[in-house]
Structure 1
């Protein structure tokens, strides 16, 4: 649900990662690993229509700034993905960045976007 043009609310309530299916839990793990590996602000992972996964972290350069979710979606699109099945982002923020949300929606109007804390605790899932 959009709160503003740049953020989407995360539904309330703590949901254990065990309640995610195995493939979606894998996305959270990949996002956490990418974030830990680079020390980035966020980590993200997406799964395409063929089951391939793409992980990324936030990029902040003088000439280029991308959220982790934008970069994961861009990596999938660059590899030929035409549809996403699901996405996950690991962040300390209490909202899902609107740019990343929009990037996922470019390839999937209904793919769940799981938002997790750095420790892997699922904060919620955005489905709109």
Structure 2
């Protein structure tokens, strides 16, 4: 499957966020203005966020009102990320791409 260059970009950003921190997952979202936001899993004693929840939070905190697409990079075989609901809170039709750590699209 050939990825749109903008979708490939958010997968690359998600991979970078994951690799930079050694987190379990990385995620990135693209808003309707084309701005991108990347994040990794947050696991603190007082705060736990999935990578996708953190990326959506960063987008919303920066004023994003809607999302075009999202990507999660993980070793998991399927997407059960609670951040998917957050993506769809903003834009029910936004696709959420799931990729392996090497960037291979899973779904």
Unaligned runs of 5+ residues in structure 2 are none
**CA distance in 1: counterparts of 2:41 and 2:56, whole angstroms:** 12
Task: State the secondary structure of the residue aligned to 1:28.
Answer: helix
TM-score, L = length of structure 1: 0.82
How far the C-alpha of 1:97 sits from its partner, in A, is 2.4
Q: Note if contact 2:14-2:71 (Cα within 8 Å) is conserved in structure 1.
A: yes
Partner deviation per Cα, 1:26-79 (whole Å, 9 max, x = no partner): 000000001000000000000001000000000000011000000000000000
- Which of 7, 31, 34 is the matching residue for 2:17? 34
Greater fraction of residues in strand? 1
- Which of 95, 101, 106 is the matching residue for 2:89? 106
Which of these two proteins has the greater Rg computed from alpha carbons?
1
Higher relative contact order (CA 8 A, sep 6+): 1
Task: State the secondary structure of the residue aligned to 1:118.
Answer: coil
- Which of 13, 28, 38 is the matching residue for 1:55? 38
Unaligned runs of 5+ residues in structure 1 are 1-14
- Equivalent positions of 1:15-30 (< 5 A) are 15=1, 19-30=2-13
- Give the number of aligned pairs: 107
RMSD of the alignment, in Å? Answer: 0.8
Give runs of ≥4 in structure 1 deviating > 4 Å: none
